[in-house]
Amino acid sequence: MDSHRSALPALCAVSSALALTVAVTGCGSPTASAGGGKGGALVVAGYGGSFETAFHDSVLPTFEKSCGCKVTYIPGSSTDTVAKLKAQRAHPQIDVALVDDGPQAQALEAGLLASIDTKVVPVDHVVKIARMENDSGVGFGLTATGIAYNPEWFAEHGVPKPTTWEDLANPKLKDKVVLPSITNTYGVGLLVGASRANGGSERDVGPGFTAVREIAGNAVTFDTTADVSNYFLQGQAAASVWGVSRTSTLADKDFPIAFVYPKDGAIALVTTANVVKKAPHQELAQKFVAHLLEPSVQRALAKATYDGSVIRGVKEDPALKNKVVSADKVDSLLKLDWKTINKNRAAWTDTWNKRVESK
């Protein structure tokens, strides 16, 4: 999905740089390091687009001011970031990696992540669904995969509002559904969601394939980009499997689109913050992750990116009630078993291509 947050004690000031290895300045000594690191600016790799803008506007300035340091931000997709971590395994140059929960599980499996310091990062205040295995990282934003639909088109054509995944198989939606490819997270969410709704699970996706094959009879195309905006804008799509944050972004353009949390369970998508194992600035990295969980940062990111807060009790903006995963929706979300998914994804892709997209 690229698509998807305490005041800290003063630390040595370090210079920012475009390169990943730079000389440190400030704090009285040109060789001093920030937060016990080996020199250089804190390097954060994360999402591009609106996420990067939000970080430069609302996250990095307050952190740099509180720590007396500088941060270099490297934008890229989650898969690109994990690829960088693998390439830099022997000599990590990234301190904090911001990635989706699926790629996070891959990075954990590859031994690329350090444990979160629970004395620094307030994980006990994080909702359960945003806690990562063994505190290998922590969610700092939450969105959901569900059904996006055009309520005006549905009303005009006498089609009831969808409430379940299988409602997308309604014959009246023939050639008006854009389905995600299994190659993106929304496709995985649909398969697992349909599996669970029909008695299956990540370990038994047969029921999911049967259900998705039926839905695929209405598909006008299978999207690989995770951005189906143009299909809606051009009238090709009346419904799709999409994220609430992306749906809200399109709705901001005054397009008639709404998001449905399927009653058989919307799929949680978690944006995670992770300290890289053997990264140059371990202490500062832990404090940056803690900063992402600050209530003020959580609210700023929700406003800018439509990712819901992961901190229990954070005051929500009433204007965002239907645009983000609100507190009353969190417990209804289904958390994906990414370890099982990643192990079987190649086989699922092969089956999907033969049974779903070939129909």
Whether pLDDT at 195 is above 60: yes
Mean pLDDT of 261-280: 97
Whether pLDDT at 166 is above 50: yes
pTM for this prediction: 0.87
The C-alpha torsion from 332 through 6 and 246 to 249, rounded to 10°, is 120
Whether pLDDT at 346 is above 80: yes
Whether pLDDT at 211 is above 60: yes
Whether pLDDT at 33 is above 50: no
pLDDT tens-digit readout, 146-157: 999 999 999 999
The confidence score (pLDDT) of residue 40 equals 62
Whether pLDDT at 142 is above 90: yes
Q: 122: pLDDT confidence band, cut at 50, 70 and 90?
A: very high
Mean pLDDT of 111-132: 97
* Long-range pairs for 195-202: beta carbons < 8 A, 24 or more residues apart: 196/264, 196/265, 196/334, 197/164, 197/165, 197/166, 197/262, 197/264, 197/265, 201/337, 202/336, 202/337, 202/340, 202/341, 202/344
The confidence score (pLDDT) of residue 11 equals 29
- CA 218, CA 6: separation in Å to the nearest integer? 50
Angle CA 45–110–141, to nearest 5: 40
The confidence score (pLDDT) of residue 358 equals 86
- CA 28, CA 115: separation in Å to the nearest integer? 31
Mean pLDDT of 20-29: 30
Whole-number average pLDDT of the chain: 89
Q: 32: pLDDT confidence band, cut at 50, 70 and 90?
A: very low
Whether pLDDT at 104 is above 90: yes
pLDDT tens-digit readout, 124-135: 999 999 999 999
The confidence score (pLDDT) of residue 312 equals 95
Label residue 27 exposed, middle or buried (CB < 10 Å: 0-12, 13-18, 19+).
Answer: middle
Whether pLDDT at 5 is above 50: no
Whether pLDDT at 30 is above 50: no
Whether pLDDT at 271 is above 70: yes
Mean pLDDT of 327-350: 96
pLDDT tens-digit readout, 218-247: 999 999 999 999 999 999 999 999 999 999
> Residues 192, 341: contact at Cβ < 8 Å?
yes
Percentage of the chain modeled with pLDDT above 90: 86
Q: 50: pLDDT confidence band, cut at 50, 70 and 90?
A: confident
**Beta partners for residue 275, in sequence order:** 96
Please name which of 11, 4, 13, 15 lies closest in space to residue 286, comparing C-alpha atoms: 11
Whether pLDDT at 4 is above 70: no
Q: 295: pLDDT confidence band, cut at 50, 70 and 90?
A: very high
CA gyration radius for the chain? 21
Mean pLDDT of 281-302: 97
* Residue scoring higher pLDDT (99 or 321): 99
